[in-house]
Amino acid sequence: MPGRIEDYAVIGDLQTAALVGRDGSIDWLCLPRFDSPACFAALLHDDSAGHWRMAPVAGGPATRRRYQDDTLILETEWDTPDGTVRVIDYMPPRGKAADVVRMVEGLSGAVPMRMDLTLRFDYGKVVPWVRRTGPDLGAIAGPDAVWLRTDIDLHGENRTTVAEFTVRAGERIPFVLTYQLSHLPRPQPVDAERALADTERFWRDWIGRCDYDGRWPDAVRRSLLTLKALTYAPTGGILAAATTSLPEQWGGPRNWDYRYCWLRDATFTLQALLGTGYVAEAKAWREWLLRAVAGDPADLQIMYGLDGTRRLPEYELDWLRGYEGASPVRVGNGAADQLQLDVWGEVLESLHLARESSITATDTAWDLQRALLEHLEGNWRLPDNSLWEVRGPRRHFVHSKVLAWTGFDCAIRAVEQHGLAGSADRWRAVRDEIHAEVCAKGFDTDRNTFTQSYGSRGLDAATLLIPRVGFLPASDPRVIGTVDAVRNELCEDGFVLRYRPETEGVDGLPGTEGAFLACTFWLVDALDAIGRRTEAEQLFERLLDLRNDVGLLAEEYDPATGRHMGNTPQAFSMVGLVNSARQLSGTTTRTSADATQQHTGRR
Ligand SMILES: OC[C@H]1O[C@H](O[C@H]2O[C@H](CO)[C@@H](O)[C@H](O)[C@H]2O)[C@H](O)[C@@H](O)[C@@H]1O
C-alpha cells in the first residue's frame, strides 16, 4: 500500500521524477517525461500498479533518510539486527536515456535484502513481457521498454522480478533501470559510480549559483533544488507538481493532474528563482513563455504542456482506485480551457519582472505584452473562473480584477520607466477604472474586508496578495482589515484555506479541502507587510515544521490529521517558502510590487 503523502522524497533528472517512499519503494515514476504514463503507479492504487522496492528483507520504514548535502541524491538507511544498510537513489543528468540508479551500500554487518520490481506501463494497465537478454532484464510492451542491469541474480514471482541478496559492510551493489522506446536497440547502461559523481557535480554546481544569504538557508536551498527538479530542461517549462490526483479531500473527488505548466505557478517560481540568483532559468522560462503563448492573445491559455502543447484533455483512469481510495484518478486538466483573468496580469508581471532584472528586453516580448493588454482591455469586465479554477459558475472575482489592474500597472511603468512605446494614457484610464470598481464592488464595508467576488459574503485568501502587487499599500486600513478577516474566518488551526467551498457552493464540487500552504505563506508575507513581524515569523516557523523529513511540502495540509494532502512536491508551496524567507530576511525582492512602492513612494 502507498505511504502517507509526506513519506515521499523526490529524485529526478529534469525530464521526469520518481517518488521514493520511506519503505524504499518507488511508487511513482512516469517515463520518459513527467507527463508520460506512469510505469510505477502504486501511489494511486497498490503495489500491483507498479513499484520498485529495495529494502531489508524484514521491510518497514527506514531508520533515517536525507539528501546528500545540497543534491537530489537520496540516502535511505535502515538499522537492522544484522547491520546497517543504505540505499542511494538518484537519476543522473539525462544523456540519451532516462536512468534510475539504486545503489545498495553495506554500512555494517551483513544485511539480507530483497528487491521487488513490478513494471506496469500505462499507469498500471499494461503488463509487459519480461525477458533476460545477456546481462540485462528487458520489460517491453507497446512503445515502451525498460531495462534493468545488475550483477545480482533475478527471478520471477507472481509477475514481479525479485532479487534476494546480502550486502556486507563496505560493499556497493548497483541496480540501474533505463528507459528506451521499444523499437530502439537496448540502451547502453550508465556506469553507476560515474553517474553518481556526475549527479553530485550537477547539483553542487547548480546550487553553487544560489546567491541567497538570508535566514533559513537550508530550507530555502532545498526548496530551490525542488523547484529546479520540477523544471523540464529541454524546453524551460516549469511544472506545478510531479504527480496527478493526490487528493485535496480524503476519499476524493478533488484530484487533479499537476504535471503541466501553469503560467501563474511558473510566474511565482520565476520570482523565487530570479530573487536567488537563477537568471538562466528565468531566461529559459521567458523563452518558453514566448513560444507557448505565440499567436492570437485571445487564445492565451492558463496552462500548457511541458513543451507548450495546448490540448490537455481531462479523462479518468477507472482501473486505479486512487490514493487511499480517492477517486477519480485524472489525467489531463480541464482547467486549461477556463477563463482566468489573473493570468494576463501574471504574464505581464513576469515579463515586467524579467525586464526589471538583468534579463535583456526583446521586441517580441514587448509586442506580446501590448497584444495581451489590448485583449485584456476588452475582456477584464467578464466574469471568470479565477485563480482557483472553480468549476462552478463564473463570477467577478476580486483577485482576477486586481491582477488585471496589475497588468496595466506593469505596462504603464514599462512606458514611464523604460521608455517603451505604448498608450500609457489609455492604460492609465483602464487601470483607474478597475481600481475604482474593485474598491466599490469587491469590498465589504461592514466587515472591513475584500470579498471573494463582487457582492459575495465569502472570503478569499488570494486577496492577501493585494499589497504584494501594489494595488493598495500595506498600511491601507482595507488591507489590514482583509488580513484580519482571513486570519479570523479563513484559517483552520492557523493555516489558511483558499476559501470556504461550502460558501455559496462557489467551486461547484462536493465537500471541502485542506489548508492551502501557498496561501498560508501569503499570510506570512501580508502579516509582515502590515508590521506584525512576530506573528509572521511564528506562522512561518509553523510552516517549516510541516515539511517532511527531507524538506518537501505538498500542496495542502490537513490540520485535523496532521497529514500532507494534494500533489507533491508542489512548486506553489516551495515557492511560498522561498519568497516568505526572503521577505522575512529583508533580502531585496525584485517583484513589481517593490517597483510600484519605489515608484509611488508607498510602504
Ligand atoms: O480547486 C479546483 C482546481 O484545482 C486545481 O487548481 C489548483 O492548482 C493549480 C496548479 O497548482 C493552481 O494554479 C490553481 O490556482 C489551484 O486552484 C486544478 O488544477 C483544477 O483543475 C481544479 O479545477
262 lines ligand 1 (CB under 6 A): yes
Q: Residue 592: is its pLDDT beyond 50?
A: no
Does 572 contact ligand 1 (Cβ within 6 A)? yes
> What are the φ and ψ backbone dihedral angles of 25, each rounded to 5 degrees?
-105, 130
- Amino acid 139: pLDDT: 97
Q: Which residues contact 294 (CB under 8 A, 6 or more apart)?
A: 368
CATH 2.70.98.40 for the 5-205 domain, yes or no: yes
CA dist., res. 591 & res. 448, Å (int) = 27
Q: Which amino acid is at 496?
A: V
Give the model's pLDDT for residue 99: 97
How many whole angstroms separate alpha carbon 324 and alpha carbon 327?
A: 9
Specify the DSSP element, H or E, that contains 249. none
Check whether 391 has a pLDDT greater than 90.
Answer: yes
Q: Which long-range contacts (CB under 8 A, 24 or more apart) does 400-403 make?
A: 400/340, 400/341, 400/342, 401/341, 401/434, 401/437, 401/438, 401/442, 402/342, 402/345, 402/438, 402/463, 402/465, 402/466, 402/469, 402/471, 403/341, 403/342, 403/343, 403/344, 403/345, 403/346, 403/349, 403/469
Number of neighbouring beta carbons within 10 Å of residue 311: 10
pLDDT tens, residue by residue, 169-197? 999 999 999 999 999 988 887 999 999 99
The answer, yes or no, to whether any atom of ligand 1 lies below 6 A from the CB of 389, is: yes
Say yes or no: do domains 5-205 and 209-588 share a fold. Answer: no
**Based on the number of CB atoms within 10 Å of its own CB, is 69 exposed (0-12), middle (13-18) or buried (19 or more)?**
exposed
Among left, alpha and beta (phi > 0; psi -120 to 50; other), residue 324 is left
Provide the mean pLDDT of the chain: 94
* C-alpha–C-alpha distance, residues 323 and 23, integer Å: 17
- SS3 call for 70: coil
**CB–CB of 55/87 below 8 Å?**
yes
Position 602 confidence tier, pLDDT thresholds 50, 70, 90: very low
* pLDDT attached to residue 461: 98
Distance in Å, CA 54 to ligand 1 centroid: 34
89 CA to middle of ligand 1, Å?
Answer: 31
Nearest-CA residue for ligand 1 atom 19 is 256
CA–centroid distance, 459 to ligand 1, in Å, is 18
Going from N- to C-terminal start, the domains of the chain cover 5-205, 209-588
Q: Which residue has the cell 502590515?
A: 530
Give residue 470's identity as a one-letter amino acid code: G
By alpha-carbon position, which residue is closest to atom 17 of ligand 1?
388
C-alpha atoms less than 13 angstroms from C-alpha of 489 in its C-beta half-sphere = 21
- What is the C-alpha R_g of the chain? 24
- The stretch 151-175 carries a mean pLDDT of 97
Cα 571 to ligand 1 centre (Å): 12
> CA 289 to CA 219: how far, in whole Å?
28
> Each residue of 121-148: pLDDT tens digit?
999 999 999 998 888 999 999 999 999 9
Single out the residue of 502, 507, 446, 509 nearest to residue 478, CA to CA: 446
Which residues pair with residue 118 across a beta bridge? 51
Please, are residues 226 and 553 in contact by the beta-carbon 8 Å criterion?
A: no
* Amino acid letter for position 517: L
Among residues 335, 270, 253, the alpha carbon closest in space to that of 571 is found at 270
CB 467 within 8 A of CB 526: yes
Residue bearing cell 539528501: 67
Rounded CA-CA distance 362/8 in Å is: 41
So what's the pLDDT on residue 598? 34
The percentage of residues in the chain with a pLDDT greater than 70, rounded to a whole number, is 97
Per residue, what are the HEC states of 274-333? Answer: HCCCCHHHHHHHHHHHHHHHCCCHHHCCCEECCCCCCCCCCEECCCCCCECCECCCEECC
Which residue would you say has higher pLDDT here, 311 or 358? 311
Q: For residue 347, how far is its CA from the centre of ligand 1 (angstroms)?
A: 17
Query: Is the distance from the beta carbon of residue 240 to the nearest atom of ligand 1 less than 6 Å?
Result: yes
Q: CB under 8 Å to 595, separation ≥6 — which residues? A: 352, 356, 413, 417, 470
Whether the CB of 258 sits within 6 Å of ligand 1: yes
Which pLDDT score is estimated for 593? 38
What's the pLDDT score for residue 588? 54
Ligand 1 centroid to 517 CA: how many Å? 13
pLDDT (0 to 100) of residue 392? 93
Residues 517-571 have pLDDT tens digits of 999 999 999 999 999 999 999 999 999 999 999 999 999 999 999 999 999 999 9
Confidence band (pLDDT; 50, 70, 90) for 358? low
Q: Where in 430-555 does DSSP place strands (E)? A: 443-444, 449-450, 491-492, 495-496, 515-516
Instruction: Please state the rounded mean pLDDT for residues 453-481.
Output: 97
Question: For the chain, what's the residue count?
Answer: 603
Look-up of cell digits 507497446? 142
- Mutate which of 255, 256, 394 for ligand 1? The one with the most ligand atoms within 8 Å of its CB, which is 256
- Which pLDDT value is given to residue 74? 98
The answer, yes or no, to whether any atom of ligand 1 lies below 6 A from the CB of 256, is yes
Residue 589, pLDDT > 50, answer no
Q: Tell me the best of 389, 390, 573 to mutate to test the pocket of ligand 1, counting ligand atoms within 8 Å of each CB and taking the most.
A: 389
**Mean pLDDT in residue range 113-119:** 98
Q: Distance (Å, rounded) from C-alpha 3 to C-alpha 412?
A: 50
- CB of 373 within 8 A of CB of 407? yes
- Flag the least confident range among 338-342, 392-396, 588-592: 588-592
| Stretch 196-223: mean pLDDT | 97
Please choose from 388, 465, 556 the residue to mutate so as to test ligand 1's pocket, defined by most ligand atoms within 8 A of CB. Answer: 388
Which helix (H) or strand (E) segment holds residue 411: the answer is helix 398-418
Quick check: helix, strand or coil at residue 532? coil
Is residue 108 pLDDT above 80, yes or no?
yes
Nearest ligand 1 atom, CA 572: 11
**Number of Cβ atoms within 10 Å of the Cβ of 432:** 12
pLDDT (tens digit per residue) in 15-46: 999 999 999 999 999 999 999 999 999 999 99
Kindly report the CA angle at 427 between 421 and 432, in degrees rounded to 5? 150
Question: Cell match 482591455: residue?
Answer: 377
Answer yes or no: is the C-beta of 264 below 6 A from any ligand 1 atom.
yes
CA of 510 to the centre of ligand 1 (A): 15
pLDDT, residue 600, reads 31
Beta bridge partners of 147: 138, 178
- 415-459 residue pLDDT tens: 998 888 999 999 999 999 999 999 999 999 999 999 999 999 999
Under a CB-based contact definition with an 8 Å cutoff, are residues 322 and 281 in contact?
no
Q: Mind listing the pLDDT tens digit for each residue in 248-302? A: 999 989 999 999 999 999 888 888 998 999 988 888 888 888 888 888 888 899 9
Q: Is 397 in the pocket of ligand 1 (CB under 6 A)?
A: no
CB 350 within 8 A of CB 357: no
User: Which CATH architecture does the domain made up of 209-588 adopt?
Assistant: Alpha/alpha barrel (1.50)
What pTM value is reported for the model?
0.95
CA angle 535, 462, 451 (to 5 degrees): 100
Has the ipTM of the complex gone over 0.90? yes
